[in-house]
Amino acid sequence: MTAADRSSAVVDIARLEELADIMLPAAHGMPSASEAGAVSLYIDEVLGWRSDLRQPLAEALAALDPTTFTVEALSAFLSEDEAAYAALTTVVAACYYLSPVVRDRIGYPGQVAKTYDPFAYTEWVADGLLDPVVERGPIWREAPG
């Protein structure tokens, strides 16, 4: 555990929500960050998993003023403080894509287990999918020895 992990820096949730809504506004059929409840519902979980992000996130929040914040200002912030930028974008994205509403809209059920027939390949082999490759013949190079 590093010093950053142990940080008890206070994260201003209201300020984070305002920034998150500019980063992820309602558009193209997707809810805004606040409509999805992204920050309010998931921030504790995300910072619980990644306590190392708390300190640089607090630094990002101190540096960025929501009343003047824009997407362009966010891009510029990357070159000013890479660690704080990474913390802000990671936390906002992680909160947003934990939301079941958001996951449902993008069609993402999470990484799920699937079953399949391991012998299904016999069908596409029989259907001739590999035939053009086989018909070209060997493409490896002979080597002496």
Partner 1 sequence: MTFRADVLIIGAGASGGVAARHLAEHGFDVVCLEQGDWPDRSSFPGTRPDWELAIRRDWAMSPNVRNRPEDYPVVHDNSDIEPLMYNAVGGSMIIYAGTWPRMLPSDLRVRTLDGVADDWPIAYRDLVPYYDAIDRQIGVSGLAGDPAYPPHDDYPLPPLPLGVAGGRVAEGHNRLGWHWWPEPNAILSAPYDGRRPCVQRGVCTSGCAEGAKASTDLTHWPKATAAGARLITGARVSRITIGPQGLATGAVWLDSASVEHHQEADVVILAANAVGTARLLLLSADERYCPDGLANSSGLVGRRLMMHPFSVVTGWWDDQVEGWQGHFGASITSYEFYETDPSREFVRGAKWALSPVGGPLNHILPMRAGNEVWGPDHHALMGRTFGRGASWAIFGEDLPEESNRVDLDPDRTDSHGIPAPRVGYRISDHSRRLMAYQEDRATESLEASGCQETAVASMIPYSGWHLMGTARMGDDPASSVVNSRQQAHDVANLYIADASVFVTSSGVNPTCTITALALRTADLLVQRRREQKVPA
Q: Binding residues for partner 1, per CB under 8 A?
A: 2, 22-25, 27-30, 45-46, 49-50, 52, 71, 74, 89-90, 93-94, 97-98, 106-108, 110-116, 118-121, 124-125, 129-130, 132-134, 136-145
Cα–Cα distances in angstroms (integers) from residue 82 to residues 20, 22, 37, 75, in the given order:
18, 19, 26, 10
Residue 60 Cβ vs partner 1, minimum distance, rounded to whole Å: 13
Residue 33 Cβ vs partner 1, minimum distance, rounded to whole Å: 10
Specify the residue, 14 or 134, whose C-beta has the smaller distance to partner 1. Answer: 134
- DSSP for 45-107, written as a single string: HHHHHTGGGHHHHHHHHHH--TTT--HHHHHHHHHH-HHHHHHHHHHHHHHHTT-HHHHHHHT
Specify the residue, 65 or 121, whose C-beta has the smaller distance to partner 1. Answer: 121
Specify the residue, 2 or 8, whose C-beta has the smaller distance to partner 1. Answer: 2
Residue 11 Cβ vs partner 1, minimum distance, rounded to whole Å: 16
Among residues 119, 132, 125, 9, which one has the least CA distance to residue 62? 9
